[in-house]
Amino acid sequence: MPLGERGGWERSESRYCGVETDFSDDVPSLLNFHISTGGFDYVLAPLMNPSYRPSLLEGNGADTQVLPVSGSDLVLAPSQWSSHVVGKISSWIDLDSEDEVLRMDSETTLKQEVAWATHLSLQACLLPTPKGTSCANYARCVNQILQGLTTLQLWLRVPLVKSDGDSMDATSEGLNDSWELWNSFRLLCEHDSKLSVALDVLSTLPSETSLGRWMGESVRAAIVSTDSFLTNARGYPCLSKRHQKLIAGFFDHAVQVVISGKPVHNLPKANTEGTQKHHLRSYLDYVAYLFQKMESLPEQERIELGYRDFLQAPLQPLMDNLEAQTYETFERDSVKYIQYQRAVAKALVDRVPDEKASDLTTVLMVVGAGRGPLVRASLQAAEETDRKLKVYAVEKNPNAVVTLHNLVKLEGWEDIVTIISCDMRFWNAPEQADILVSELLGSFGDNELSPECLDGAQRFLKPDGISIPSSYTSFIQPVTASKLYNDVKAHKDLAHFETAYVVKLHSVAKLSPSQSVFTFTHPNFSTKANNQCYKKLQFNLPSDAGSALVHGFAGYFDSVLYKDVHLGIEPTTATPNMFSWFPIFFPLRKPVEVHPDTPLEVHFWRCCGSSKVWYEWSVSSPTPSPIHNTNGRSYWVGL
């Protein structure tokens, strides 16, 4: 039975827990013992008798031999095979052995076992850990198999090892960093989305930063050995604080725990009722306790669950008119409008001293007024500061203008608010504004053409006028994002690799702190003809992290609305509880492997044409990548 019900975790794959078993030719009894009696959700069980070797059968009437599998497909219903059994490929196989007989036996057996697993409609099979440093032939054989699979997933078993120079884990067999093993195997298999990783969690763990890399990889299972458990004061198994934190991180990334090994805690064999207790039940109970200890997901996080790692094309609000549903979503973000109200209130107080508050009327223009949330925030700021206001609401979407007219009438703002149905870049204002307010920011700050729009509207701002926002900066950071990369790759074309996506990042590893890219200030007194920019950036991985694969760049923005009032999504300074913007993701056509001792050199360009603005990006070190999106051939924002 699942580990428990927690707020927001009900649908997570991580609520299932498996158990690793030995070979049995009586699968119904195996399931009855581990699932009905033990309470596990599935077994990780060998499909073939471990003594089987194809070469021993040759010439001995091999044609009439029956494969020594764990029983006929009829011993369980198809749904039981599918839900309760993950196949474990024979651990003796070694496709990179010098011994040709062993190598050939291994290839034959691997293909037979996967074929049997497919016949049984299993959801997944566990591949044994590669035996040596070279795994090319093993990967070649697995890659051949992957080409023919439709639903079966293959999990490569890899020990969770990363030595810090001197310390070597006894079970790692001389392996310095198991991520390197996984990475070479995955790249040899063309980054196939049906190939995932199952991590053997050992009693000693690598550093925190090294573990973080795995959160961006396609980890499906964490196989926790009973040897990794400590003993609590009552004699029961428990995990170290670091192990607990790792397992919680796995739960949050839909990774399932599998208990493996023999019991190492001397506990009573029977329940209080006197019935026989499963020998690993106390380990399962502890894992269930960790799952139930997880904090419930906040309401907003639950709403956004479906958007996790889901690629969306950014909005084109200048080229397209937004729909009512889109306005509705953004208007619900009260945090954003509270910040705008604070900024307008501070600007009004700076603009009009208290002694002139009853005489002076401030002219405020909302450019891109939508359905009126900024108009409302500005009027509330005027009421709060006791300042007089005259508002122009400029909006190019004729459908939103209908709503604006109704709002003004309903609220009785006819004497204060003038609605202008026009593109701000082409409107001739009857007077100049003291304050210009806009919400034209995209996930990357300038990617919805705020600079072009505000430069166009600047002509009707007084020379000493205030723009809200007064500046905004874009940021990027390199990420491992295996799922996002595979989702882009699934389109099988260049254009999708040269497109920036808005995405609620979840299964990603952030490899280095973010750095600023482009900054725009308003009002803009620059004499530059356009807003073209170029930035070269250098990122370094922490020295204890180990190598990592960069699939692309996460992008964010931070904006100064006015003085000390800011708004943004850059992780270290993000405005809490704001949901109007997800980060942006710039993919790389070919992922780049980066080592801690070699900087990652990245180039970003913001290019401007007569009818569009676009980004180009590339990596120049440690290995050069092509320049992505040349001339905006795949992705651009229309002017």
Q: Which residues does the annotation place in the binding site for S-adenosyl-L-methionine?
A: 327, 336-337, 395, 423-424
Q: Which two tokens stand for residue 219?
A: 């980890």
Reduced DSSP (H G I as helix, E B as strand, rest coil) percent helix, strand, coil of the chain, to 5: 30, 25, 40
439 is catalytic: yes
Phi, psi of 138 (to 5 degrees): -60, -50
Count of Cβ atoms closer than 10 Å to residue 563 Cβ: 13
**List 20, 107, 217, 448, catalytic entry:** 448
The per-residue b/e assignment along 32-53, b for 16 or more CB within 10 angstroms, e otherwise, is ebbbeebbbbbbbbbbbeeebb
Q: State the Cα–Cα distance between residues 247 and 245, nearest whole angstrom.
A: 6
CB environment 319-340: b (16+ within 10 A), e (fewer): eeebeeeebeebbebeebbebb
Rg for the chain (alpha carbons), in Å?
Answer: 30
Place of tokens 């990603």: 508
DSSP string, 267-286: --SB-TTSPBPPTTHHHHHH
Binding site feature residues:
327, 336-337, 395, 423-424
Cβ(428)–Cβ(439) under 8 Å?
no
Pairwise CA distance, residues 258 & 247, whole Å: 11
Instruction: Give the CA distances from residue 66 to residues 48, 76, 299, 567, 618, in Å, rounded to whole numbers and listed in that order.
Output: 11, 19, 55, 68, 56
Displacement of CA 314 from its chain's centroid (Å): 17
How many other CB atoms are found less than 10 A from the CB of residue 396?
A: 21
> Among 198, 21, 50, which residue's Cα sits nearest to residue 127?
198
* Residue 530 token pair: 């356009």
Question: Distances in Å between the alpha carbon of 584 and those of 70, 157, 505, 515, 570?
Answer: 49, 33, 9, 14, 11
CB 540 within 8 A of CB 512: yes
Distance CA(87)–CA(69), nearest Å, equals: 11
Query: Phi then psi for 431, rounded to 5 degrees?
Result: -150, 170
Q: Give residues with Cβ within 8 angstroms of 13, minimum separation 6.
A: 254, 255, 256
* Catalytic residue check, 304: no
Catalytic residue among 107, 217, 439, 498: 439
Contact criterion met (CB below 8 Å) for 198 and 168: no
- Residue type, position 352, single letter: V
Question: Chain-centre distance of CA 455, in angstroms?
Answer: 35
Which contiguous run of DSSP H or E holds residue 350? Answer: helix 334-351
Rounded to whole angstroms, what are the CA distances from 554 to 479, 508, 583?
7, 9, 7
Residue 622: name the closest of 596, 585, 604 by CA: 596
Q: Could you tell me if residue 159 is left (phi over 0), alpha (psi between -120 and 50 degrees) or otherwise beta?
A: beta
Cα 85 from Cα 70, distance rounded (Å): 12
In the DSSP assignment, the letter for residue 532 is -
Residues recognised as catalytic: 439, 448
